[in-house]
Structure 1
């Protein structure tokens, strides 16, 4: 039986974006299933007492450079969003709504939203911009906006976030392979090794 990589992430995390650019190929090459687990990073920070590295001046400066290094290494486009930090509650609920109602289009939604935030630098806290991005990706933005208010969508995101915290997650991205936790997009080599074992 093939292994599974659970990918706990938040769209507002630049490291989640970088991990997302690598994990599909990594999992395909290893014959593993990639399971996307949307979570609300702000709630994880609150529950664990953690905070974004960008909130610490010296660490934030270093992080920007380090993210750029990895984007270059991976050969992927990346622009640090000028509207960071981003309140992702609505965006993460949107993803969960797609996951529940249009699972076959989840990858399309994920790609469109990550692209808008971390490549195009769009202000995704603006509902008009969000609707434009979704419409350009072929989604019914109005229908999705209605779905994010559904109790099932809210509960699913909350449950995934609470599960992440219970399992030891303190930041994004975090991957699990056979119960082993790997934090950070710079730990994908360990994920790859875990899939070989």
Structure 2
């Protein structure tokens, strides 16, 4: 499910419909969409592909800005995240120092690290992405299963041109699909690409790909928090 598979595969054939999620761990709504799609890959006939990208680059290119930078949207977001976390059963909480720990710090280093994981150890892409969301939006520390020596090697890779170029290319691909924020979910159906923005369009996604929406926590799949 790594991005490399999408590039190497060259197409979107096969019996399963391909659903890509472009995400950034700085985005709480990306986490919600990520977890729900992870649950639905066991219920829907889809091939789910994780596409780590850089939200800051997308915002810059499209002239968008974070909701927290607009006072009224920021106020709404605080309440919305609390409601959405409960509904989606994801342990998402706003950090006490939201502006300092999220907005000012940004996510470029984190997304380069995740890109390095995707390029070299794709089997860890899902747990590492989840762990970084947990660190930002739920807890201060945790384990993603990466051996320490391997983690250090991946950290060293984040400054290489290969990783930087890969993250840039994935971000540009999201922009080509029409992304202006995250999560950006792209479904490939009968040769057409359909873009869905946000974590609250997954019911519509199911309708477009011909699958039944069973709520944020389908019975066949349980949250893995």
- Alignment TM-score, normalising by the size of structure 1: 0.88
Deviation at 1:147, TM superposition (A): 1.2
Pick one of 75, 95, 98 that aligns with 2:89.
75
Distance 1:112 1:137, change over 3 A: farther
CA distance in 1, matches of 2:32, 2:138: 11
Q: SS of the counterpart of 1:29?
A: coil
Q: Deviations over 1:95-153 (max 9, x none)?
A: 11001111111112112111111111x4xxxxxxxxx7568754433211111122221
Pick one of 119, 131, 141 that aligns with 2:138.
119
Q: 1:11 matched to which residue of 2?
A: 25
Q: Deviations over 1:3-62 (max 9, x none)?
A: 011101111001111111211112221021111111111111110000011111111110
Q: Note if contact 2:124-2:146 (Cα within 8 Å) is conserved in structure 1.
A: no
CA distance in 1, matches of 2:88, 2:176: 32
Q: 1:172 matched to which residue of 2?
A: 182
Moved over 2 A (4+): 132-141
Q: 1:127 matched to which residue of 2?
A: none
Gaps of 5+ in 2: 1-14, 212-225
Q: 2:152 matched to which residue of 1?
A: 142
Distance 1:106 1:135, change over 3 A: closer
Q: Deviations over 1:68-102 (max 9, x none)?
A: 11111112211112322141111001111001111
Q: How many residues in Structure 1 have an aligned counterpart in Structure 2?
A: 187
Does residue 184 of structure 1 match 2:198?
yes
